[in-house]
A and B are shown apart, each in its own frame.
Chain A
Amino acid sequence: MIVLRALARLVTFLLLVALAVVGLALAVFSLGPAGSFSLPGLAQLVHLPALRDDVGRLLGAVEASGPLAALTGLAGLASVVVGLLLLAGALVSRRERLAVMERTDQGTLAARRRPLGRVAGALVEQVRGVTATKTKVRPGRRRGGKVAVEAVHSRTTDPKQVRTAARELLGPITEAFGLKTRIRPRVGDAKQRVE
Protein backbone atom coordinates (compact mmCIF):
# COMPACT_ATOMS: atom_id res chain seq x y z
CA MET A 1 0.00 0.00 0.00
CA ILE A 2 2.92 2.35 0.71
CA VAL A 3 4.23 1.77 -2.81
CA LEU A 4 0.78 2.45 -4.29
CA ARG A 5 0.48 5.68 -2.30
CA ALA A 6 3.93 6.84 -3.44
CA LEU A 7 3.09 5.90 -7.03
CA ALA A 8 -0.24 7.74 -6.87
CA ARG A 9 1.52 10.86 -5.57
CA LEU A 10 4.21 10.68 -8.25
CA VAL A 11 1.68 10.21 -11.05
CA THR A 12 -0.45 13.05 -9.67
CA PHE A 13 2.59 15.32 -9.54
CA LEU A 14 3.68 14.44 -13.08
CA LEU A 15 0.16 14.91 -14.44
CA LEU A 16 -0.11 18.29 -12.75
CA VAL A 17 3.25 19.37 -14.19
CA ALA A 18 2.17 18.22 -17.66
CA LEU A 19 -1.15 20.04 -17.25
CA ALA A 20 0.63 23.22 -16.17
CA VAL A 21 3.02 23.07 -19.14
CA VAL A 22 0.16 22.50 -21.60
CA GLY A 23 -1.86 25.30 -20.02
CA LEU A 24 1.07 27.68 -20.17
CA ALA A 25 1.75 26.82 -23.82
CA LEU A 26 -1.92 27.35 -24.71
CA ALA A 27 -2.00 30.66 -22.87
CA VAL A 28 1.17 31.93 -24.55
CA PHE A 29 0.13 30.82 -28.03
CA SER A 30 -3.35 32.33 -27.54
CA LEU A 31 -1.75 35.76 -27.41
CA GLY A 32 -0.45 35.64 -30.97
CA PRO A 33 -2.74 37.10 -33.67
CA ALA A 34 -1.96 34.69 -36.49
CA GLY A 35 0.85 32.82 -38.19
CA SER A 36 3.14 30.45 -36.33
CA PHE A 37 2.60 32.23 -33.00
CA SER A 38 -1.07 31.23 -32.66
CA LEU A 39 -3.15 28.21 -31.67
CA PRO A 40 -3.15 26.73 -35.22
CA GLY A 41 0.60 27.40 -35.23
CA LEU A 42 0.95 25.49 -31.97
CA ALA A 43 -1.02 22.59 -33.47
CA GLN A 44 1.41 22.54 -36.41
CA LEU A 45 4.36 22.76 -34.04
CA VAL A 46 3.35 19.66 -32.09
CA HIS A 47 2.39 17.84 -35.32
CA LEU A 48 -1.27 17.46 -34.38
CA PRO A 49 -2.42 16.78 -37.99
CA ALA A 50 0.10 13.94 -38.28
CA LEU A 51 -1.00 12.61 -34.91
CA ARG A 52 -4.65 12.70 -36.00
CA ASP A 53 -3.75 10.63 -39.09
CA ASP A 54 -1.77 8.14 -36.99
CA VAL A 55 -4.59 7.75 -34.47
CA GLY A 56 -7.08 7.32 -37.31
CA ARG A 57 -4.97 4.53 -38.81
CA LEU A 58 -4.58 2.89 -35.38
CA LEU A 59 -8.32 2.99 -34.71
CA GLY A 60 -8.96 1.52 -38.16
CA ALA A 61 -6.55 -1.34 -37.41
CA VAL A 62 -8.10 -1.93 -33.98
CA GLU A 63 -11.59 -2.19 -35.46
CA ALA A 64 -10.44 -5.04 -37.69
CA SER A 65 -9.81 -8.42 -36.06
CA GLY A 66 -6.15 -9.33 -35.74
CA PRO A 67 -3.16 -9.34 -33.40
CA LEU A 68 -3.23 -5.56 -33.00
CA ALA A 69 -6.82 -5.68 -31.75
CA ALA A 70 -5.91 -8.29 -29.12
CA LEU A 71 -2.87 -6.30 -28.07
CA THR A 72 -4.92 -3.14 -27.77
CA GLY A 73 -7.52 -5.00 -25.71
CA LEU A 74 -4.82 -6.20 -23.35
CA ALA A 75 -3.34 -2.72 -23.11
CA GLY A 76 -6.80 -1.34 -22.30
CA LEU A 77 -7.25 -3.96 -19.60
CA ALA A 78 -3.83 -3.15 -18.13
CA SER A 79 -4.73 0.55 -18.11
CA VAL A 80 -7.90 -0.21 -16.17
CA VAL A 81 -5.93 -2.24 -13.61
CA VAL A 82 -3.30 0.50 -13.26
CA GLY A 83 -6.05 3.08 -12.84
CA LEU A 84 -7.73 1.01 -10.12
CA LEU A 85 -4.42 0.56 -8.29
CA LEU A 86 -3.75 4.29 -8.44
CA LEU A 87 -7.26 4.96 -7.15
CA ALA A 88 -6.63 2.55 -4.29
CA GLY A 89 -3.36 4.31 -3.50
CA ALA A 90 -5.08 7.68 -3.47
CA LEU A 91 -8.31 6.76 -1.68
CA VAL A 92 -7.56 3.98 0.79
CA SER A 93 -7.42 5.28 4.36
CA ARG A 94 -3.99 6.40 5.50
CA ARG A 95 -4.86 6.11 9.14
CA GLU A 96 -2.75 3.59 10.98
CA ARG A 97 -4.76 0.77 12.47
CA LEU A 98 -4.95 0.89 16.25
CA ALA A 99 -5.07 -1.92 18.74
CA VAL A 100 -8.28 -1.22 20.62
CA MET A 101 -8.30 -2.01 24.31
CA GLU A 102 -11.77 -0.85 25.19
CA ARG A 103 -14.66 0.78 23.37
CA THR A 104 -17.39 2.05 25.70
CA ASP A 105 -19.70 5.05 26.09
CA GLN A 106 -16.89 6.76 27.98
CA GLY A 107 -14.64 6.60 24.95
CA THR A 108 -12.11 4.38 23.27
CA LEU A 109 -8.80 3.28 24.71
CA ALA A 110 -6.32 2.27 22.05
CA ALA A 111 -2.63 2.06 21.26
CA ARG A 112 -0.54 2.18 18.15
CA ARG A 113 1.68 -0.69 17.21
CA ARG A 114 4.96 0.83 18.39
CA PRO A 115 4.24 1.34 22.09
CA LEU A 116 2.48 -1.98 22.23
CA GLY A 117 5.40 -3.74 20.58
CA ARG A 118 7.89 -2.05 22.92
CA VAL A 119 5.89 -3.05 26.00
CA ALA A 120 5.54 -6.64 24.74
CA GLY A 121 9.26 -6.80 23.98
CA ALA A 122 10.18 -5.43 27.40
CA LEU A 123 7.96 -7.99 29.11
CA VAL A 124 9.44 -10.93 27.22
CA GLU A 125 12.98 -9.67 27.93
CA GLN A 126 12.24 -10.32 31.60
CA VAL A 127 12.21 -14.07 30.93
CA ARG A 128 15.34 -15.74 32.29
CA GLY A 129 17.80 -16.51 29.50
CA VAL A 130 16.22 -14.19 26.92
CA THR A 131 18.80 -11.76 25.52
CA ALA A 132 16.82 -9.89 22.90
CA THR A 133 13.38 -9.67 21.39
CA LYS A 134 11.81 -8.65 18.12
CA THR A 135 8.10 -7.88 18.16
CA LYS A 136 5.51 -7.35 15.50
CA VAL A 137 1.98 -6.19 16.32
CA ARG A 138 -0.81 -6.50 13.79
CA PRO A 139 -4.06 -4.97 15.07
CA GLY A 140 -7.31 -6.43 13.79
CA ARG A 141 -9.91 -4.49 11.82
CA ARG A 142 -12.25 -3.85 14.74
CA ARG A 143 -10.66 -5.31 17.83
CA GLY A 144 -8.00 -7.83 18.71
CA GLY A 145 -5.12 -8.73 16.48
CA LYS A 146 -1.84 -10.58 16.73
CA VAL A 147 1.42 -10.03 18.50
CA ALA A 148 4.40 -12.05 17.33
CA VAL A 149 7.50 -12.06 19.48
CA GLU A 150 10.80 -13.56 18.51
CA ALA A 151 12.70 -14.27 21.72
CA VAL A 152 16.43 -14.76 21.34
CA HIS A 153 17.76 -16.94 24.17
CA SER A 154 20.94 -18.66 25.27
CA ARG A 155 21.72 -22.27 24.35
CA THR A 156 21.26 -23.45 27.91
CA THR A 157 17.69 -22.15 28.12
CA ASP A 158 14.81 -24.45 27.28
CA PRO A 159 12.73 -22.95 24.44
CA LYS A 160 9.55 -24.44 25.88
CA GLN A 161 10.16 -22.64 29.16
CA VAL A 162 10.80 -19.41 27.27
CA ARG A 163 7.53 -19.78 25.42
CA THR A 164 5.52 -20.56 28.55
CA ALA A 165 7.07 -17.77 30.63
CA ALA A 166 6.73 -15.23 27.82
CA ARG A 167 3.08 -16.12 27.28
CA GLU A 168 2.43 -15.72 30.98
CA LEU A 169 4.15 -12.33 31.15
CA LEU A 170 2.33 -11.09 28.07
CA GLY A 171 -1.00 -12.13 29.56
CA PRO A 172 -2.08 -8.73 30.93
CA ILE A 173 -1.62 -6.87 27.64
CA THR A 174 -2.82 -9.62 25.34
CA GLU A 175 -5.97 -10.01 27.39
CA ALA A 176 -6.55 -6.24 27.61
CA PHE A 177 -6.15 -5.78 23.85
CA GLY A 178 -7.62 -9.13 22.83
CA LEU A 179 -4.40 -10.06 21.04
CA LYS A 180 -3.37 -13.54 19.98
CA THR A 181 0.21 -14.31 20.87
CA ARG A 182 2.85 -16.12 18.89
CA ILE A 183 6.16 -16.67 20.63
CA ARG A 184 9.10 -17.91 18.60
CA PRO A 185 12.11 -18.80 20.74
CA ARG A 186 15.41 -18.72 18.86
CA VAL A 187 18.90 -19.57 20.04
CA GLY A 188 21.09 -16.49 19.85
CA ASP A 189 24.43 -16.20 18.08
CA ALA A 190 27.62 -16.76 20.00
CA LYS A 191 28.18 -12.99 20.06
CA GLN A 192 24.94 -12.38 21.95
CA ARG A 193 25.47 -12.88 25.66
CA VAL A 194 23.01 -13.17 28.48
CA GLU A 195 23.12 -10.04 30.61
Chain B
Amino acid sequence: MSTARPGPGPTPLAAPSRRAQLARLAREAALATVGVAGASAGPQGRFATGDRGEVLAGVLATARRDAAFDLELNLIVSWPAPPLHSLAEAVRERVVTAAGRAGLGDVLGPIGISFADVLEPAGLGGPGP
Protein backbone atom coordinates (compact mmCIF):
# COMPACT_ATOMS: atom_id res chain seq x y z
CA MET B 1 0.00 0.00 0.00
CA SER B 2 1.47 3.30 -1.04
CA THR B 3 1.20 6.48 1.02
CA ALA B 4 0.47 9.85 -0.59
CA ARG B 5 3.55 12.04 -0.75
CA PRO B 6 3.85 15.62 -1.87
CA GLY B 7 4.77 15.80 -5.53
CA PRO B 8 7.52 17.83 -7.10
CA GLY B 9 5.17 20.76 -7.85
CA PRO B 10 5.44 24.22 -6.33
CA THR B 11 5.66 24.21 -2.55
CA PRO B 12 2.82 26.03 -0.82
CA LEU B 13 3.75 29.36 0.81
CA ALA B 14 4.27 29.28 4.55
CA ALA B 15 1.93 31.34 6.68
CA PRO B 16 3.06 34.95 7.05
CA SER B 17 4.88 35.89 10.23
CA ARG B 18 3.13 38.14 12.72
CA ARG B 19 5.61 40.85 11.82
CA ALA B 20 4.70 40.63 8.15
CA GLN B 21 0.99 40.43 8.95
CA LEU B 22 1.21 43.55 11.06
CA ALA B 23 3.27 45.43 8.46
CA ARG B 24 0.83 44.56 5.67
CA LEU B 25 -2.17 45.47 7.76
CA ALA B 26 -0.64 48.81 8.80
CA ARG B 27 0.29 49.65 5.22
CA GLU B 28 -3.19 48.86 3.95
CA ALA B 29 -4.83 50.83 6.75
CA ALA B 30 -2.60 53.83 6.06
CA LEU B 31 -3.26 53.74 2.32
CA ALA B 32 -7.00 53.60 2.96
CA THR B 33 -6.86 56.88 4.89
CA VAL B 34 -8.13 59.92 3.01
CA GLY B 35 -5.18 62.23 2.36
CA VAL B 36 -2.62 59.45 1.95
CA ALA B 37 -1.63 58.98 -1.68
CA GLY B 38 0.98 56.28 -1.27
CA ALA B 39 3.80 54.80 0.74
CA SER B 40 7.48 55.05 -0.05
CA ALA B 41 10.43 52.89 0.95
CA GLY B 42 12.54 56.07 1.11
CA PRO B 43 15.66 57.01 -0.84
CA GLN B 44 17.71 54.22 0.75
CA GLY B 45 14.87 51.71 0.89
CA ARG B 46 14.90 51.73 4.67
CA PHE B 47 11.14 51.66 5.09
CA ALA B 48 10.38 48.18 3.79
CA THR B 49 9.39 44.85 5.25
CA GLY B 50 9.81 41.51 3.55
CA ASP B 51 6.92 39.09 3.41
CA ARG B 52 7.65 35.72 1.82
CA GLY B 53 9.54 37.16 -1.12
CA GLU B 54 7.40 40.26 -1.42
CA VAL B 55 8.60 43.66 -0.27
CA LEU B 56 6.09 45.85 1.50
CA ALA B 57 7.36 49.33 0.68
CA GLY B 58 6.63 52.20 3.03
CA VAL B 59 6.40 50.24 6.26
CA LEU B 60 9.10 48.98 8.57
CA ALA B 61 8.16 46.58 11.36
CA THR B 62 10.87 46.02 13.96
CA ALA B 63 10.67 43.44 16.75
CA ARG B 64 10.96 44.73 20.30
CA ARG B 65 12.15 42.97 23.43
CA ASP B 66 8.59 42.68 24.72
CA ALA B 67 7.54 40.63 21.66
CA ALA B 68 5.67 43.59 20.18
CA PHE B 69 6.65 45.34 16.95
CA ASP B 70 7.53 48.97 16.31
CA LEU B 71 5.97 50.26 13.14
CA GLU B 72 7.36 53.03 11.00
CA LEU B 73 5.26 54.30 8.12
CA ASN B 74 6.72 56.53 5.41
CA LEU B 75 3.80 58.08 3.58
CA ILE B 76 3.14 60.25 0.56
CA VAL B 77 0.48 62.88 1.09
CA SER B 78 -2.09 63.72 -1.57
CA TRP B 79 -2.43 67.29 -2.80
CA PRO B 80 -3.96 69.57 -1.58
CA ALA B 81 -2.41 68.36 1.64
CA PRO B 82 -4.66 68.00 4.66
CA PRO B 83 -3.38 69.17 8.08
CA LEU B 84 -0.47 66.82 8.73
CA HIS B 85 -1.05 66.34 12.43
CA SER B 86 -4.68 65.29 12.07
CA LEU B 87 -3.75 63.09 9.11
CA ALA B 88 -1.12 61.33 11.20
CA GLU B 89 -3.61 60.83 14.01
CA ALA B 90 -6.17 59.41 11.56
CA VAL B 91 -3.61 56.97 10.16
CA ARG B 92 -2.58 55.88 13.63
CA GLU B 93 -6.18 55.34 14.66
CA ARG B 94 -6.90 53.24 11.57
CA VAL B 95 -3.84 51.09 12.16
CA VAL B 96 -4.75 50.50 15.81
CA THR B 97 -8.32 49.59 14.86
CA ALA B 98 -7.23 47.26 12.07
CA ALA B 99 -4.67 45.54 14.32
CA GLY B 100 -7.29 45.06 17.02
CA ARG B 101 -9.73 43.52 14.53
CA ALA B 102 -7.07 41.17 13.21
CA GLY B 103 -6.17 40.04 16.73
CA LEU B 104 -2.75 41.68 16.51
CA GLY B 105 -3.44 44.46 18.98
CA ASP B 106 -1.28 42.79 21.62
CA VAL B 107 1.81 42.88 19.41
CA LEU B 108 1.33 46.41 18.16
CA GLY B 109 3.99 48.75 19.53
CA PRO B 110 4.52 52.47 18.88
CA ILE B 111 3.60 53.70 15.41
CA GLY B 112 5.98 56.22 13.89
CA ILE B 113 4.70 58.20 10.95
CA SER B 114 6.76 60.34 8.63
CA PHE B 115 5.51 62.21 5.60
CA ALA B 116 7.99 61.70 2.84
CA ASP B 117 6.50 63.65 0.01
CA VAL B 118 3.44 65.15 -1.59
CA LEU B 119 1.83 63.78 -4.71
CA GLU B 120 1.16 66.86 -6.75
CA PRO B 121 -1.23 67.03 -9.68
CA ALA B 122 0.29 66.66 -13.15
CA GLY B 123 1.96 69.86 -14.26
CA LEU B 124 3.12 70.84 -10.79
CA GLY B 125 5.78 68.13 -10.61
CA GLY B 126 5.57 64.67 -9.14
CA PRO B 127 6.92 63.35 -5.90
CA GLY B 128 10.65 63.46 -5.38
CA PRO B 129 12.89 60.39 -5.03
Contact = CB atoms under 8 A, between A and B. Distances in A.
Interface of A: 94-96, 98, 101-102, 105-112, 114-116, 118-119, 122, 172-173, 176
Contacts of B117: 112, 114-115
12 contacts: A105-B110, A106-B92, A108-B110, A110-B112, A110-B114, A114-B128, A115-B77, A115-B84, A116-B115, A118-B81, A119-B84, A176-B84
A112 B114 CA distance: 7
B92 to A, nearest CB: 7
Interface string B87-125: 010001000000000000000001111111110100000
A107 B113 contact: yes
Contacts of B115: 110-112, 115-116
What interface size band does chain B fall in?
20 to 34
A114 B80 CA distance: 14
Contacts of B70: 107
A122 B81 contact: yes
Nearest to B70: A107
Interface of B: 43-44, 46, 70-71, 77, 79-81, 83-85, 88, 92, 110-118, 120, 128
A173 B85 CA distance: 9
A76 B115 CA distance: 46
B118 A109 contact: no
Nearest to B44: A94
Contacts of B112: 107-110
A144 B62 CA distance: 27
Contacts of A115: 77, 81, 84, 115-118
Contact of A172 (B83, B92, B110): B83
Given A114-B118, A115-B117, A118-B118, A107 B71 contact: yes
A115 B75 CA distance: 10
A80 B9 CA distance: 61
